[in-house]
Amino acid sequence: MTELWKMTASQLAGLVRAREVSAREVAQDALQRLDAVNPKINAIVECRPDHVRCQADRIDALLAQGHDPGPLAGVPVTVKINADEAGFATTNGTRLQRDLVAARNSPAVDNLLHAGALLVGRSNSPTFALRWFTSNLVHGKTVNPRDPRLTPGGSSGGGAAAVAAGIGPIALGSDIGGSLRYPAYACGIQGLRPSFGRVPAYNASSPERGIGPQLMSSTGPMARSVEDLRLALAAMSMTDIRDPWHVSLALAGKPMPRRVALCVRPDGIDVAAEVESALRDAARRLEDAGWTVVEVEQTPSLQALADIQQQLWLGDGFANLSDAVERDGDPGARAVVDGVRGAVEKMPPDIVASALLRRATEARRWSLFFEYYAVMLLPVSTELPFPDDLDLQGSAGFQRVWDAQLPMRAFPAIGLPGLAVTTGSVGTTPVGVQLVAPRFREDLCLDAGADIEARGAPIPVVDPS
């Protein structure tokens, strides 16, 4: 039999549910793969093998008793270090939370367990989840398994590197400005940022977040196949009353014309030639699948959304963040705080209220846009994945990174879903595209993403060198 760690979540769950392999065998295989590759990439920063085996034995016992353990039966999943998992520290990559041990699971973690998943380890993230690069002073640096010279992305970089290297076919991450989509892009896998309100979220270990982050952050999956993203989303989005923003809504919406807006240069920004080539390749694949692709030069403003995102994210509580970053001492987090400080200091005292007002206006404009188009096809980033730690190369390096991420920073402001789909590579550098759809229409992103994926090469598990 093919090594289990090479299989998709859908394949593994089918084998376990049919009792062709045991969950214990899957767990042991995943742990062996982790031992083999994780020392090279530092994607998983905490793993308790006996705990993993106990989870597997529970799944096997349920099957032996004739019970259904769930749609993710025996599937190894990694969990980001900023999500509560009972008995583990929710470090969020900061020395200030090194001993913040969660007493209860976050809703998405509970939902994964209820679906039969095996939680095999805690995945690395930058300090306070602030960067598109993954390192911190608690757990160290994560290496991109496809090319160690490149960032693995951030802030869910550990999870993306783990999936790419075969440490579990699914990773749980979060995204407030690209933190699921960019690691997927950088590691050559698929990553879904669900709509705001789709997947319930809550960390009992920590104080309530500011209203801006509450309205923009999204918990979601990364995987090596769109089918696995769909499976993970269904499991993770089950209702949990601890999240007052959660909306229990069907995962498939009303039929829409299969019409795609191709926007190569959103807001007129420059894009790398390789990024444009990937977009046009994806457009051709969609046309081959029966979609109508319309190239558009003008859309509602992404920059307006990105400004709102920055104001809601940093307009309330920046002084506390700056103080925490200073006390932690991580140079990457300091670079982010220093890079945005000038913009934050110019914000008036009522900036959050003002941003919320403009948020409604911009959301309306995009809702009208998506009345005609089912999905929008645009860059994930205007550049190929960055050299690692580019944001630490002075103010010019930071600004280059910040500007290139406009297509990801924008849409969390109004809670839209986004899917990063890999389309191949340029040498050893992964490349891909982003699909955005109306709120709660992840199904449209996934449908289009599956058609792009089906007309390309399957994503191989990489052996880090």
pLDDT digits over 175-229, tens only? 999 999 999 999 999 999 999 999 999 999 999 999 999 999 999 999 999 999 9
How far apart CA 126 and CA 135 sit, in angstroms, is: 5
* CB-based contact 100:32 (threshold 8 Å): no
At 437-450, the pLDDT tens digits run 999 999 999 999 99
Q: Each residue of 348-385: pLDDT tens digit? A: 999 999 999 999 999 999 999 999 999 999 999 999 99
CA distance 61 to 65: 6
459: nearest Cα among 229, 248, 244: 229
Residue keyed to tokens 């290496």: 143
Structural domain includes residue 191? yes
**Beta carbons of 152 and 107 less than 8 angstroms apart:** no
Q: Is the pLDDT at 402 greater than 60, yes or no?
A: yes
Is residue 2 assigned to a domain?
no
Residue 382 belongs to what domain range?
Answer: 8-454
Give 57-94 pLDDT, tens digit per residue: 999 999 999 999 999 999 999 999 999 999 999 999 99
Secondary structure of residue 424 in the 3-state scheme: strand
Considering the domain boundaries, does residue 3 fall inside one? no
Determine the pLDDT at residue 1. Answer: 53
- Decide: 375 and 445 in contact? Cβ < 8 Å: yes
Residue at 241 is within a domain: yes
Tokens of 262: 């191709």
pTM of the model: 0.98
Helix (H) or strand (E) holding 76: strand 76-80
Q: What burial letters (b/e) apply to 100-110, b meaning 16+ CB within 10 Å? A: bebebbbbbbb
pLDDT in tens, 26-59: 999 999 999 999 999 999 999 999 999 999 999 9
Q: CB–CB of 159/64 below 8 Å?
A: no
pLDDT of 278-333, one tens digit each?
999 999 999 999 999 999 999 999 999 999 999 999 999 999 999 999 999 999 99
In a domain, 462, yes or no: no
Residue 368 lies in a domain: yes
* Mean pLDDT of the region 9-13: 98
Residue type, 336: V
What are the helix and strand counts (H, E) for the chain?
A: 16, 13
Q: Which are the contacts of 98, defined by CB distance < 8 A and separation ≥ 6?
A: 89, 91, 138
Quick one: pLDDT at residue 18?
Answer: 97
CA 348 to chain centre: 32
pLDDT at position 422 is 98
Token pair 């789909």 is found at 421
Residues identified as active-site: 80, 155, 179
Q: To the nearest whole number, what is the mean pLDDT of the chain?
A: 98
Q: Give the Cα separation of 465 and 197 in Å (integer).
A: 39
Question: Does 31 reside within a domain?
Answer: yes
Once rounded to an integer, what is the mean pLDDT over residues 248-269?
97
Q: For 283-323, what is the HEC assignment?
A: HHHHHHCCCEEEECCCCCCHHHHHHHHHHHHHCCCHHHHHH
The confidence score (pLDDT) of residue 138 equals 98
CATH of residue 46: 3.90.1300.10
Rounded to whole angstroms, the Cα distance separating 178 from 174 reads 9
Q: How far is CA 132 from CA 77, 206, 354, 461, in A?
A: 22, 23, 28, 22
Note whether residue 175 is domain-resident.
yes
Give pLDDT tens digits for 242-252.
999 999 999 99
Question: Which has the closest alpha carbon to 198: 174, 216, 223, 219?
Answer: 219
Residue with tokens 């920063």: 45
Q: Check residue 465 and give its pLDDT.
A: 77
2 pLDDT more than 80: no
The predicted-structure confidence for 128-146, as pLDDT tens digits, reads as follows 999 999 999 999 999 999 9
Tokens of 323: 């103080």
Average pLDDT over residues 267-274: 97
Please determine, for residue 102, whether its predicted confidence score (pLDDT) is greater than 60. Answer: yes
Chain centroid to CA 304: how far? 23
Number of folded domains in the chain? 1
Whether the Cβ atoms of residue 120 and residue 29 lie closer than 8 Å to each other: no
